[in-house]
Amino acid sequence: MNKVFFFAIVSLMLVSCGNYIRIGDLTAISNRNLDDSQNYVLLKRDVEAIAKSKNDDALEQAVDNLTKEYEGEFLRNAKIYVKDNGKKVKVIGDVWGVQLTNVNVSTNASAKIELKIGDNVIFRRRGKLIEGKIVGLNPTSVIVEYGRKNKKVELKYDEVTKTKTE
């Protein structure tokens, strides 16, 4: 009986220690006044901040941390979690703010590029640009030979860039 009681107490302590308790969901939360004339846009989705405080302002700090980090004004779809009697707060939500730069730039490039065996190409491998030569073609990929040891790799067509043949 003592062993059962001991294991029950230990498991209860392990479950309660270190876990956040979800205290609610908010449609929007902000520490600033919002300007109705501004056009707010979604800057970052599902981000998280954790803040601790002895002054009972951990929620305010967590919201400020998120809005400052992503240069936003407020959070939407916020989930609030509390730990350690309110001294530690976790906030997860979508950061909204004013779009300062034009990130929705769309470009179009169209060129007819024909790849054939023997063409020189460049491709990215482990973060580095590698030069190689096409030695085979498939309906969905090319086989490129590269390096001093004539290694071969199969790449999709959009992973290679044709270079000038000299």
Q: Is the pLDDT of residue 13 over 80?
A: no
Q: What is the pLDDT of residues 89-121, one digit of tens each?
A: 999 999 999 876 655 566 677 777 888 899 999
Residues 6+ apart with CB under 8 A from 78: 25, 26, 27, 28, 29, 63, 91, 92, 93, 94
Average pLDDT over residues 141-158: 92
pTM of the model: 0.50
**Residues carrying CATH 2.30.30.140, the chain:** 120-162
Q: Is the pLDDT of residue 138 over 80?
A: yes
d(CA 74, CA 96) in angstroms, rounded, equals: 5
**CATH code of the domain made up of 120-162:** 2.30.30.140
Q: Is the pLDDT of residue 86 over 80?
A: no
